[in-house]
Structure 1
Amino acid sequence: MKAIVINQYGSADELVEQEVPLPEINDDQVLMELKATSINPVDWKMREGYLKEMLPYKFPIILGWDAAGIVKKVGNQVTAFQPGDKVFARPKTNPTGTYAEYVAVEEDLVCSLPENSSFDEAAAIPLTGQTAWVALVEIAHIKKGDRVLIHGGSGGVGHLAIQIAKHFGAYVAATASGKNEAFVQSMGADEFINYKEQDFETLLSDYDIVLDTQGGETQEKSFSVLKRGGTLVSIAAPPDEEKAAEKGIKTGYFFLEPDGERLQELAELMKNDELKVTIGKTVPFTEEGLREAHRVSEEHGVVGKIVVQIGK
């Protein structure tokens, strides 16, 4: 089958087309014929070699963490799906990812495609949607009436996090650049902060939850926004535990482990039009298409998600 792989760490130019064996499935897996995948920052961080100690894979490595497509084959123990079913998933973290025509995925990580969702839309949800859900629901225990600050509200995680927070009845403030104000507000944000011209830490106070997608100075300033007992969850870097203890703030930092039941929760929101992904760019399943997508992602040059159309 065709795949886009890396044979060494480096720039986007390391993404090359290669023929690789069709995945063999275990008894508890389905073989998905991919119609679309999407780009996440973890893709190019892995390509650059930033994750090689945590994920010491042998080359060639197939990147990609999102899958949407059609079930081609099922293992002997699979009961929930059959060939022809339209599905999506965030497969397990391994060196045979989703920049490929086929991928093997455990049955318990697979979810039926909502009828009102396209393959492109579904492919953009699994990693970023589950990341936002873990941060807000499983770590911060969001509830109705909470005041939530989401950094990077126009990004892949941020624009989904706004919608999830609103689903739970929270008041949401979000940061982004001024050109994305209308978009962030359309996602449901109650308050918009242009991070290039405004200092969020002087405008906001007494918040229950901050979702940090930036790290660095943004994370440091976020401590002052939270009330005692509040929660700072980061997907960028572990928050300072000593500072958190001084301020009576809970912290969270995680590397996403996929979960099919969690993805099903997101699918229900998708079915009810409470969770809509924005696709800022689509690229073809070619070397140049993937290279362009990685470069745009590294430059934070798109609103929402970048989708790779495979089965077109």
Structure 2
Amino acid sequence: MTTATTTTTTMMKAIRLHAFGGPEVLRYEDAPVPALKPGEVLVRVHAVGINPPDWYLREGYRMLPPAWQPPIAMPAIPGSDVSGVVEAVAPGVQGLAVGDEVFGMVRFPSYGDSAAYAEYVTAPASDLAHKPAGISHVQAAAAPMALLTAWQFLIELGHDHPNPLQPQMHRPVPIAGKTVLVNGAAGGVGHFAVQLAKVKGAHVIAVASGAHEAFLQGLGADEFIDYTQGAPEAVARGVDLVLDTLGGPTTGRFLQALKPGGVLYPVFPLGYTGADEAAQRGFTVSATQVRSSGAQLVQLAGLLGAGTVRVAIDSTFALADARSAHERAARGHIRGKIVLTVR
């Protein structure tokens, strides 16, 4: 039985930005603890996962077409991925209670409303799941966005919201017994995609730099292509599905690696213009926008807790050092995820 409670804490430390720009605009400062709304819980944050949308917000979404750039109220707190302990529960919330350890991706997609780089965050109860007992808060905070992205692209979309990236809904195809190539396999989405594809019975080709070969083989990759030694699309042949975690204008190069009827999923499809040509050639190119889903995280928590899917941590930084964490992200070549820790 859940019970509502309130916290007497009114102020917290948070990372806020008052203007758009580079990592230097991230300020560690006092901020009000967010007010609890119906259907929400207040989480005392132990760790925060860092994701590309965090720096998209910090930069003012300059990577989006001007018509897509949303207005952002300042000061803004970035971040969406958290793991922590429930501090308070709004009346009527079922399934979560004060003291529960939880993790989730909060209010995504949203623009400046997730506010996870903080000591406290409010979250819709439907965005959260109980943290698996077998993993730490750091590992749990690293998982939600990247793991849900891999799951929703490859396994189950899990919602019926309109797709802002294309006219039709994204429909994952069965991958058991198929050959799946993951580009950017050592990164956040990539290292989860390798593992999920293996869980679902695919033959997995991992593409990354040579430094990550042993790491990815340890996660179950059947083949490895070092992109620094030659174009992976020129090496791989007869692939059923490519998950390009980098995407962008050059993602169409992977069409030459596909067998007839093959599928290309660019995680970042902006800039790609060849969908019609691909369709004429018998290929499917499809993308989606990852969305918060506590229900899917409940399923994934079982895989995480059992060690079937493992979380790789590139590096950790204290919340106050969020600027350094963003500078680390900007240097690239990340293995797994970057995480902020909160005292």
TM-score by length of 2: 0.86
Residue number in structure 2 paired with 1:4: 15
Aligned Cα root-mean-square deviation (Å): 1.5
User: CA contact under 8 A between 1:154 and 1:304: conserved in structure 2?
Assistant: yes
* 1:236 is aligned to 2:253: no
Q: 2:78 aligns with which of 32, 42, 63?
A: 63
Are the equivalent residues in 1 in contact too, given 2:49–2:142 (CA < 8 A)? yes
Q: In the aligned structure 2, how far is the partner of 1:258 from the partner of 1:226? A: 31
Indicate conservation of the 8 Å contact 1:39/1:306, yes or no.
yes
Is 1:297 aligned to 2:329, yes or no? yes
CA offset digits 1:103-140 (Å, max 9, x no partner): 11111111001110110000000000000111111333
Between the aligned partners of 2:188 and 2:309, the Cα distance in structure 1 is 13
TM-score computed with the length of structure 1 as normaliser: 0.95
1:109 aligned onto 2:141: no
Query: Which residue in the other structure is 2:195 paired with?
Result: 163
Distance apart, 1:216 and its partner CA? 4.4
Residue 278 of structure 2: SS of its match in structure 1?
helix
Q: Does 1:204 align with 2:215?
A: no
2:312 is aligned to 278
Residues in 2 aligned to 1:303 and 1:212: alpha-carbon distance in whole angstroms: 16
- Equivalent residue for 1:13, pick from 24, 31, 43: 24
Tell me, yes or no, if structure 1 residue 267 matches structure 2 residue 301: yes
Task: Provide the C-alpha distance between the structure 1 equivalents of 2:288 and 2:33, rounded to a whole number of angstroms.
Answer: 32
1:43 is displaced (CA, Å) by 1.1
Q: Say which of 37, 57, 61 aligns to 1:46.
A: 57
Are positions 1:95 and 2:112 aligned together? yes
Deviation sequence 1:85-113 (CA, Å, 0-9, x none): 00001000242411001111111111001
Q: Which amino acid aligns with 1:27?
A: P
Cα gap change, 1:135/1:165 in structure 2, threshold over 3 Å: closer, same or farther? Answer: same
Give the partner amino acid of 1:298.
Answer: A
Alpha-carbon shift at residue 302 of structure 1 (Å): 2.7
Contact 1:120–1:309 (8 Å) recurs in 2: yes
What CA distance in whole angstroms lies between the structure 1 residues aligned with 2:284 and 2:300?
25
Give yes or no for contact 1:163–1:188 (8 Å, CA) kept in 2: yes
Bigger shift: residues 164-173 or 227-236: 227-236
Give the aligned residue type for 2:304. Answer: M
Deviates more, 1:55-64 or 1:118-127: 55-64
The alignment status of 1:135 with 2:153, answered yes or no, reads yes
Distance between the aligned counterparts of 1:269 and 1:216, measured in 2?
A: 30
Residue 98 (structure 2) aligns with: 83
Letter of the 2:172 counterpart: A
Gaps of 5+ in 2: 1-11, 157-170
Give the conservation status (yes or no) of the 8 Å contact 2:248–2:266: no
Q: Deviations over 1:243-272 (max 9, x none)?
A: 221221112222221111111121111122
- Comparing 89-98 and 235-244, the one that deviates more: 235-244
Cα shift readout 1:189-229 (whole Å, capped 9, x = no counterpart): 10100001022222222212111122246512111111232
Q: Secondary structure at the match of 1:117?
A: coil
**Cα distance in structure 2, aligned partners of 1:94 and 1:24:** 18
Partner of residue 28, structure 1: 39
* 2:57–2:112 contact (8 Å) kept in structure 1: no
Q: Does structure 2 conserve the Cα–Cα contact (< 8 Å) formed by 1:140 and 1:231?
A: no
Q: Deviations over 1:142-177 (max 9, x none)?
A: 331011000011101100110010000100001101
CA–CA separation in structure 2 for the residues paired with 1:165 and 1:8: 40
Segment of structure 1 superposing worse, 253-262 or 145-154:
253-262
Alpha-carbon separation, structure 1, partners of 2:242 and 2:53: 21
> What is the alpha-carbon distance in structure 1 between the residues aligned to residue 19 and residue 174 of structure 2?
41
Count of aligned residue pairs for this structure pair:
309
> Which SS does the other structure have where 2:15 is aligned?
strand
Contact preservation (8 Å) 2:146, 2:192: yes
Gaps of 5+ in 1: none
1:182 pairs with one of 205, 214, 221: 214
Q: Secondary structure at the match of 1:62?
A: coil
Are residues 1:172 and 2:183 paired? no
Separation of aligned partners in 1, 2:69 and 2:308: 35
What is the CA–CA distance in structure 2 between the aligned matches of 1:187 and 1:300, rounded to whole Å? 21
Identity of paired residues, percent? Answer: 36
Distance in structure 2 (CA, Å) of the matches to 1:224 and 1:111: 40
After alignment, is 49-58 or 180-189 more displaced? 49-58
Find runs of 4+ consecutive structure 1 residues off by over 3 angstroms. Answer: 51-55
